[in-house]
A and B are shown apart, each in its own frame.
Chain A
Amino acid sequence: MPRRVSIGLITILVVCVIWYAVTTGLGLIPSGRFPSPAETWSAFIHVSGRGYGGGDLTLHVYNSLRLVVLGFLFAIATGVPLGLLMGWSRTAEALINPIFLIIRPIPPLAWIPLAILWLGLGDAAKMMVIWFSAFVPSVINTYAGVRNIDRPVIEAAYMLGMPKTRFVGEVLIPGASPMIFTGLRLSLQASWTTLVAAELVGAFYGIGRVLNVAQQDLYPGMILVGMIAVAILGWGTTRLLGVAEAYALRWNTAALAAKG
């Protein structure tokens, strides 16, 4: 086991021990405020078995994960091309930038009421708010990535007679890709944040729904289960994106390694 991983595991173990100590062991924190490990475990069994807040854990996780993945993919499928266009064409930039200047200061969460008003409590509204929050970072970073491509490299592509179609796929996108991935990471984080918030406001299923019901039921164990579930899902999806990034940017990590 690599050293980093083993140290990480030890840290988690220590946190768990302290957690047990301050709740069950020493009773410093009453269970109405923060659940003990045993209470959390029983809440976990509760939601995975009988179900809670309208479904079992698998259903909630499935719904949240599906919405995040779809919303995120939808956002980047629209955001990255728009960023490429804005980075490449001054005209497109001049046309589109004003809209961004107006929309950007609005926190994505502020769109939730409007989305629910328009589209109800179902998936469509959640997709819309995820799209709003994840779209902006992917556009902005892709745009910056294109602007950051070395001028001589673009000139070399012209000199080599590269046709437009190939130019986009083989120069523009790979050239901007380090920044594109920065945008994707921010987009993914934003997707989770807005999804959970939107589910808190109103949903039939999902982890935000679990959190919301648990809060109304004064059920701290279940709240913690919901929080841990979001943390694990967020970590997992970020990790997957990281693997894709490491592969796509292997030419770049080589550069980092060479620089030490």
Chain B
Amino acid sequence: MGVIQFKGVNKIFGPRETGFQALQDINMEIRDKEFVAIVGPSGCGKTTCLRMVAGFEPATDGVVTVDGTPIKRPGPDRAVVFQQFALFPWKSVYDNIDMGLRNLNVSRSERESRIADILNLMNLTQYAKHFPHQLSGGMQQRVAIARAYVLDPDVLLMDEPFGALDAQTRVVMQEELVRLARKNPRTVLFITHAVEEAVYLADRVAIMTRAPGRIKEVLDIASIRNAEDWDSHEKIEDVMDLESFVHLRTHIWRSLREEKAAQHA
């Protein structure tokens, strides 16, 4: 299970009166096995939302729950792909990916086969023994993704996971994520700056306002995806050409542009 709920969440960094209000009155439910993407201007509080679900940041007001239980601390049931990778530099690629499984006391043979699978999926097999610093940024990001995927968590929290990838790898990873999400669906909270990526991947897209961040609108993508049968197209570029896709994308673009314009005004 993995139902995430934000109920009347405010987040103020620092003292209540004088601190910085990052989030204001966030109310949102992410259903079990739903893929929700959050887009919004830089600094609007996307990462803060995700960190609250991860258990790194308490809400100032309101409550964030998973399956009805308020979140108290981080744990491997909510795997995070960090914006800055946050790999253990002193551990090899293999050992980085192995860490969570060891903590969960998974048997050695199962760990080995799961890690072999994920290394293969991420095209990292020949780098298993490398240290993170010996890899390019995009490869490090793939390790960070592998480290989260391998746990097979109820909830997957991804903070701009494809940000450091080159365009080709990015597309491969997106298609892979869609394939994975259809085959083995789980609750995903996905942050991105790339509007196309959000529309392509998500069941719903939440658009946030500039700081203090609020949920401006939530778009239902899944119903349109199903109605227009996007999944019959194998390639991402074919989906992106569809009129229904372009329509959604343009809508989100406009909405974001409004926020950015207001920010600079």
Contact = CB atoms under 8 A, between A and B. Distances in A.
Interface of A: 150, 152-153, 155-163, 166, 170-171, 174-175, 177, 250-252, 254-255, 258
A255 B89 contact: yes
Given A153-B88, A155-B56, A160 B100 contact: yes
Contact of B134 (A152, A153, A171, A258): A258
Contacts of A162: 99, 103
B87 interface: yes
Contact of A163 (B74, B86, B91, B103): B103
Contact of A252 (B86, B89, B103): B89
Given A166-B103, A255-B133, A258-B134, A159 B74 contact: yes
B243 to A, nearest CB: 41
27 contacts: A150-B84, A152-B82, A152-B85, A153-B86, A153-B89, A155-B54, A156-B82, A157-B99, A158-B55, A159-B55, A159-B75, A159-B78, A159-B79, A160-B76, A161-B75, A161-B100, A166-B102, A170-B91, A170-B99, A174-B90, A177-B90, A250-B131, A251-B90, A252-B89, A254-B134, A255-B133, A258-B133
Given A152-B84, A156-B86, A161-B100, A251 B131 contact: yes
B86 A150 contact: yes
B161 to A, nearest CB: 14
B73 A158 contact: yes
Nearest to A151: B86
Contacts of A159: 54-55, 74-76, 78-80
Interface string B90-124: 11000000011011100000000000000000000
Contacts of A158: 55-56, 73-75
Contact of A175 (B75, B90, B131): B90
Interface residues of B, number: 30
Contacts of A166: 102-103
Contacts of B55: 158-159
Contacts of B99: 157, 160, 162, 170
Given A152-B84, A160-B147, A174-B91, 10 more contacts: A155-B86, A156-B80, A158-B74, A160-B76, A161-B74, A163-B103, A170-B88, A171-B88, A175-B90, A251-B133
Contacts of A156: 80, 82, 86-88, 147
Interface string B64-85: 0000000001111011101011
B100 to A, nearest CB: 4
Interface of B: 54-56, 73-76, 78-80, 82, 84-91, 99-100, 102-104, 131-134, 147, 151
Nearest to B78: A159
A177 B99 CA distance: 19
Contacts of B84: 150, 152
Contacts of A161: 74-76, 100, 103-104
A163 B103 CA distance: 7
Contacts of B133: 251-252, 254-255, 258
Contacts of A170: 88, 91, 99
A211 B179 CA distance: 77
Contacts of B54: 155, 159
Nearest to A177: B90
Contacts of B75: 158-159, 161
A170 B134 CA distance: 20
Contacts of B131: 250-251, 254-255
A170 B131 CA distance: 15
Contacts of B134: 254, 258
A150 B88 CA distance: 10
Nearest to A158: B74
Q: Please indicate which of the listed interface residues B79, B87, B99, B102 has the most CB atoms of chain A within 10 Å of its own CB.
A: B99
Nearest to B136: A258
Nearest to A155: B56
A162 B73 CA distance: 12
A252 B131 CA distance: 9
User: What 4 A-B pairs have minimum CB-CB distances, sorted nearest first?
Assistant: A152-B86, A255-B133, A160-B100, A174-B90
